[in-house]
């Protein structure tokens, strides 16, 4: 039998695309004999799951949807033999995007734990990724280091322990999470004030640069609020989309377009102010096609994360005051051989566009510029 993939016994998560919405999307999960297992059928109306040998149907009465007619959509199926559960979702593989779940009886555990093969029989279905582990719980968005975690934090799954991040993300975390990694230091304690002053004062660098970027994400429809400043640290050494360390400056009410992150890992720390994050299941190529499945606020010194599989598509918004300043760090997995060097985003007309992560200025030069503007201000 062609197109068979072997996974860990009794557990797997398959992420896939379906390019033909006319036919049903069918996936099979088999035991070693290829005679027993589960058949998962997705239509545009529902998800249906059957016992391959007996024909028994496993119905989720809350399931009201299946394949979606939206460009960019992808899907996932999670087999969890330990907890006797099968789950199906649209977009990122996580509980928040679930559309179907069936809880089997305890006596079905042996049946589920003997499933080891995945099979798809149509070329219109493309396997994007296979994960060893099933999807079980919601995943925290905030990261904490070991010394900052309590027993209750772990029990309530309030934070993502730094140690649970990928090795690449742990490396990024260690680079920007230190106590001395601050915006306002002894040498320039007014740094954030100087940035605010430069944003507010016509003719100064931040104010002028933001105005010049008003067409960055839509050449035909200038939008000053859909702008932010990218101040880069170091050089692009080929390990990330653009320069790996970027300080981003978000004036009040400014926001990014909905965008993804080139399947890279990322760590984001708030250095000043606060930022509001909206997470999306996938980068939908239709205007107003999907709503965020989660929203969260991050304040000074909070840290969040992005992996190639999770939190990839988001929108950042500064809903309050003062200006928010973040440090973003990006790096591809070692297994990533494509190195897609763009962030895809959705423009104001709902079209997917490419954005090449650029630099508005190097950090060292920017800091000196802010010092100079601050020292030259008229009212000291």
Summarised one tens digit per residue, pLDDT across range 262-275 is 999 999 999 999 99
Say if residue 6's pLDDT is above 90: no
Residue-level pLDDT at 238: 83
Token pair for 187: 């040498």
Say if residue 349's pLDDT is above 90: no
Per-domain residue ranges of the chain: 4-131, 143-375
107 CB burial (10 A radius; 0-12, 13-18, 19+): exposed
Kindly report the three-state secondary structure assignment for every residue of 202-221.
Answer: CCCHHHHHHHHCCCCCCCCC
CB of 87 within 8 A of CB of 100? yes
* 3-class SS of residue 375: helix
Higher pLDDT, residue 120 or 380 = 120
Residue-level pLDDT at 124: 87
> 4-131 in CATH: which number?
2.60.120.200
Which pTM does this prediction carry? 0.93
> Domain 143-375 maps to which CATH number in 1.10.540.10, 2.60.120.10, 2.170.150.20, 2.30.30.40?
2.60.120.10
The pLDDT of 256-264, averaged and rounded, is 95
Report pLDDT digits (tens) over 352-365: 999 999 999 999 99
The pLDDT of 110-122, averaged and rounded, is 92
The pLDDT of 106-116, averaged and rounded, is 95
What pLDDT band is residue 123 in, cutting at 50, 70 and 90? confident
Higher pLDDT, residue 237 or 118 = 118
Residues 6+ apart with CB under 8 A from 85: 78, 101, 102, 103, 104, 134
- The CA distance from 256 to 240, in Å, is 20
């Amino acid at each position: 039998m062609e197109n068979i993939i072997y996974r860990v016994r009794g557990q797997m998560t398959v992420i896939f695309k379906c390019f033909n919405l006319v036919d049903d999307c069918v996936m099979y999960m088999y035991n070693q004999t290829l005679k027993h297992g589960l058949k998962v059928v997705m239509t545009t109306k529902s998800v249906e799951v059957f016992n391959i040998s007996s024909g028994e149907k496993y119905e989720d009465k809350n399931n009201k949807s299946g394949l979606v007619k939206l460009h960019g959509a992808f899907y996932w199926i999670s087999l969890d033999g330990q907890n006797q559960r099968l789950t199906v979702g649209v977009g990122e593989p996580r509980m928040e995007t679930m559309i179907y779940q069936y809880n089997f009886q305890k006596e079905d555990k042996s049946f589920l734990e003997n499933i080891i093969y995945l099979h798809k029989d149509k070329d219109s279905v493309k396997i994007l990724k296979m994960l060893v582990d099933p999807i079980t719980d919601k995943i925290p968005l905030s990261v904490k280091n070991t010394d900052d975690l309590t027993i209750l934090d772990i029990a309530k799954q309030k934070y993502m322990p730094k140690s649970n991040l990928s090795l690449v993300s742990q490396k990024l975390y260690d680079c920007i999470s230190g106590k001395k990694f601050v915006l306002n230091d002894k040498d320039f304690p007014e740094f954030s004030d100087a940035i605010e002053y430069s944003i507010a004062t016509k003719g100064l660098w931040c104010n002028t640069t933001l105005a010049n970027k008003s067409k960055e994400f839509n050449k035909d429809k200038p939008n000053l609020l859909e702008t932010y400043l990218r101040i880069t640290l170091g050089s692009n050494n080929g390990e990330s989309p653009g320069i790996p360390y970027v300080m981003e400056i978000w004036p009040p009410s400014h926001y990014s377009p909905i965008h993804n992150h080139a399947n890279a890992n990322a760590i984001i720390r708030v250095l000043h102010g606060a930022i509001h994050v909206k997470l999306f299941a996938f980068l939908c190529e239709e205007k107003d096609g999907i709503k965020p499945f989660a929203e969260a606020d991050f304040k000074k010194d909070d840290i969040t994360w992005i992996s190639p599989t999770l939190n990839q598509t988001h929108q950042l918004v500064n809903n309050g005051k003062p200006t928010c300043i973040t440090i973003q760090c990006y790096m591809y997995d070692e297994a990533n051989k494509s190195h897609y060097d763009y962030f895809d985003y959705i423009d104001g007309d709902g079209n997917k566009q490419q954005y090449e992560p650029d630099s508005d200025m190097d950090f060292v030069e920017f800091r000196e510029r802010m010092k100079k503007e601050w020292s030259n201000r008229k009212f000291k």
